[in-house]
Amino acid sequence: MMQKKIKTIGAVLLAGSFFLATHSIAATAYDEGTYGPEAPITWDKPTKVTFSHKVHTMDSGLACDACHDGLFTMESGAILATGKMTMAAMAEGKFCGSCHDGNTAFATNTKCASCHKDVKELTPKDPIVWTNPAKAVVFYHKAHTEGLGLECDACHDSTFAMQKGAAGKAGNFTMQALYEGKYCGKCHDGSTAFASNTRCNTCHIGVKGYNRMMGNDGAHGATHKDTKAGH
Amino acid sequence: MNIEDLEKEKNEGIENLPLQERRKFLQMGLVVTGVFLGGSVLSLTSTSHASDQSNQDRDIPAEGQYPYPKHYGMVMRQNRCVDCEKCVEACKQTNHVPDAHGAYRTAIQERLTTENGAEKREFRPVLCNHCNRPPCVRVCPTKATYKDPQTGIVVMDYAKCIGCKTCMAACPYNARYFNHEKYAIDKCNFCIDTRLAEGKTETACAAACPARVRIFGDLKDKSTEIYRLLHTPDTKIWVLRPDTGALPNVFYMNA
């Protein structure tokens, strides 16, 4: 009984001290006049996105006129209404992309979760299919995120870039690389997950599996059935 | 044809009779003479193929039982196959297999099953088995298909082929197709003309395989990988349709 009381008092004191500490720092350091609105700007459309003035002004030292009004008008929601603020536009160096180009700041096709807080909403529903270097390898996001509870940053961007087909184009997305702990081999090493040199056909669906997935079943090449059927 | 004519025919001999025929004949004899002796006598017919050195019908030939100067064969390490079909592409390119009528010299078969609710895939590469007792050779009326005396490869003489397709019907492995360009039956010949003749040591399919599923070589040569694989103790090795008695030279294993 006595012990419990002490614990409770301890917890309250600890919480109180944290509150005071954070409150006093925030109160003294952040000035909305200099740094812009304190609350993060959030958009719901086209997807949930958040932007923090603090990170860009107070933490990074940018002045208001770095973005206003050249890149963004100050009026709330005005940019969105134009419908022009898309990832494609940013990739062309517009809006956030004028700094987030991979040079001045991280590129817009990386670190998705920095701005898209609800990134799970954006997780591809359809399986990822690689046809390079071997046709065809399948990967299910759902099995790894919902099934195993992995977060996006378990793989992105350290092991896999988010860009579609990036690994296949890299030229080193081979089984040998996996055995050396790269790509899938980071976890599929026999201890964290099944080893890459076992259960080949869990991921390799082959040309036949690929054709079925793409809806051109019954293309050239023999399946078990039609090789037995004769000509 | 009457009896006198038949008597003048040369005896075909029993050397080239399929195992199945011989077994049938033997079993009939056993039924007639040994029906009361039961299983102990009948079991004599099921000697193990792989282990009995004196058995002429062993799947893997014993020492001194290779009839050709070079005895080419292939081992398929089946569980490594992922159906990327680079072998099929390489074969088509190398041997000019037409992309029509489902023609192929080699193909990948697929078996889909469900295991504990998850889809399970198995792939199996197939091609001509270059049998020691090829049923296709036996039935060809013009001797257009024959065992190459140097290598044991079952080859085609396209000029002699009349396109009757009897060999296609006889082949237990469905390894033959009618080539409309050659107007003859065509089949896998282990790239004897397109690669081996140029001094290459591998078939196009084996060279193209990224997973080294296909190991091609001389079964007789103790220094080859295929010899080592086939003579590794405790490796389970199987052939397709052993019951036909064709004695295929394409072997399957999981390794």
Which residues lie closer than 8 Å to A190 by C-beta, 6 or more apart? A198
Chosen domain end from A114, A144, A160: A114
Residue B145 lies in a domain: yes
**Residue B211 lies in domain:** 72-220
Phi-psi region of B183 (alpha: psi -120 to 50; beta: other; left: phi over 0): left
Q: What is the mean pLDDT of residues A76-84?
A: 80
Residue A61 lies in a domain: yes
The verdict on A194 and A127 lying in the same domain is: yes
Token pair 């195992």 is found at B19
Residues of B in contact with A220 (CB under 8 A): 99, 102
Q: Which of B156, B159, B161 is nearest to B142 (CA)?
A: B161
pLDDT of the residue at A230: 37
User: How do B250-253 and B72-77 pair as beta strands?
Assistant: parallel
Q: Determine whether the interchain pair A222/B86 forms a contact, defined as Cβ–Cβ distance below 8 Å.
A: no
Residue A222 scores a pLDDT above 70: no
pLDDT tens for the 255 residues of chain B, in order: 677 887 888 877 777 777 787 788 878 877 766 555 544 444 444 334 444 555 666 777 776 677 788 999 999 999 999 999 999 999 999 999 999 888 999 999 999 998 888 888 999 999 999 999 999 999 999 999 999 999 999 999 999 999 999 999 999 999 999 999 999 999 999 999 999 999 999 999 999 999 999 999 999 999 999 999 999 888 899 999 999 999 999 999 998
**Residue A207 lies in domain:** 123-226
Q: Residue A5, CB half-sphere, CA atoms under 13 Å: how many?
A: 2
Q: CB burial class (10 A; 0-12, 13-18, 19+) of residue A148? A: exposed
Task: For residue B182, give the 3-state DSSP assignment.
Answer: coil
Residue A188 lies in a domain: yes
Asked whether the beta carbons of B50 and B60 are under 8 A apart, the reply is yes
Residue B67 lies in a domain: no
Provide the 8-state DSSP code for A102: S
Residue B237 lies in a domain: no
Q: Which of A200, A220, A231 sits opposite B177 (nearest CB)?
A: A231
Q: Which of B88, B121, B210 sits opposite A205 (nearest CB)?
A: B121
Q: Which of B83, B102, B104 sits opposite A204 (nearest CB)?
A: B83
Which residue on chain B is closest to A138 by alpha carbon?
B82
The verdict on A167 and A75 lying in the same domain is: no
The verdict on A129 and A99 lying in the same domain is: no
The verdict on A98 and A164 lying in the same domain is: no
Number of domains in chain A: 2
Chosen domain end from A114, A133, A150: A114
The verdict on A132 and A222 lying in the same domain is: yes
Cβ neighbour number for residue B23 with a 10 Å cutoff: 16
Return the beta strands (E) in A88-202 as ranges. 128-130, 137-139
What is the ipTM, given to two decimal places?
0.71
Provide the 8-state DSSP code for B103: -
- Alpha-carbon span A85 to A67, nearest angstrom: 14
- In chain B, what is the straight-line distance between the N-terminal and C-terminal CA atoms, in Å? 54
Model pTM above 0.95: no
Residues of A in contact with B85 (CB under 8 A): 135, 206-207, 221
Which range has the top average pLDDT, A16-30, A93-107, B152-166?
Answer: B152-166
The verdict on A148 and A108 lying in the same domain is: no
CA distance A223 to chain B (A): 5
Residue A80 scores a pLDDT above 90: no
Residue B116, CA distances (Å) to B55, B113, B120 in order: 42, 10, 9
List the single best residue of B78, B80, B81, B83 to mutate versus A (max A Cβ within 10 A): B83
- Alpha-carbon span A170 to A168, nearest angstrom: 6
Q: Which of B85, B110, B126 sits opposite A135 (nearest CB)?
A: B85
Number of domains in chain B: 1
DSSP-H helix ranges across chain A: 2-29, 32-35, 53-54, 78-82, 87-91, 141-145, 166-170, 175-179, 206-213, 224-229
> Which CATH number do you get for residue B105?
3.30.70.20
The verdict on A100 and A144 lying in the same domain is: no
Residue A25 scores a pLDDT above 90: no
The verdict on A129 and A63 lying in the same domain is: no
The verdict on A135 and A93 lying in the same domain is: no
Q: Please give the structure tokens belonging to residue A28.
A: 């003294």
Residue A4 lies in a domain: no
The verdict on A110 and A39 lying in the same domain is: yes
The verdict on A110 and A139 lying in the same domain is: no
Q: What is the mean pLDDT of residues A10-24?
A: 55
The verdict on A188 and A98 lying in the same domain is: no
pLDDT of the residue at B49: 44
**In terms of residues, how long is chain A?**
231
- Alpha-carbon span B175 to B125, nearest angstrom: 12
Residue B249 lies in a domain: no
- Alpha-carbon span B249 to B75, nearest angstrom: 8
What pLDDT digit, counting tens, does each position of A149-198 carry?
888 888 887 898 877 778 888 889 999 999 999 999 999 999 999 999 99
Residue B229 lies in a domain: no
- Alpha-carbon span A67 to A131, nearest angstrom: 42
- Alpha-carbon span B156 to B168, nearest angstrom: 13
Residue B255 lies in a domain: no
Residue A87 lies in a domain: yes
> Which CATH number do you get for residue A144?
3.90.10.10
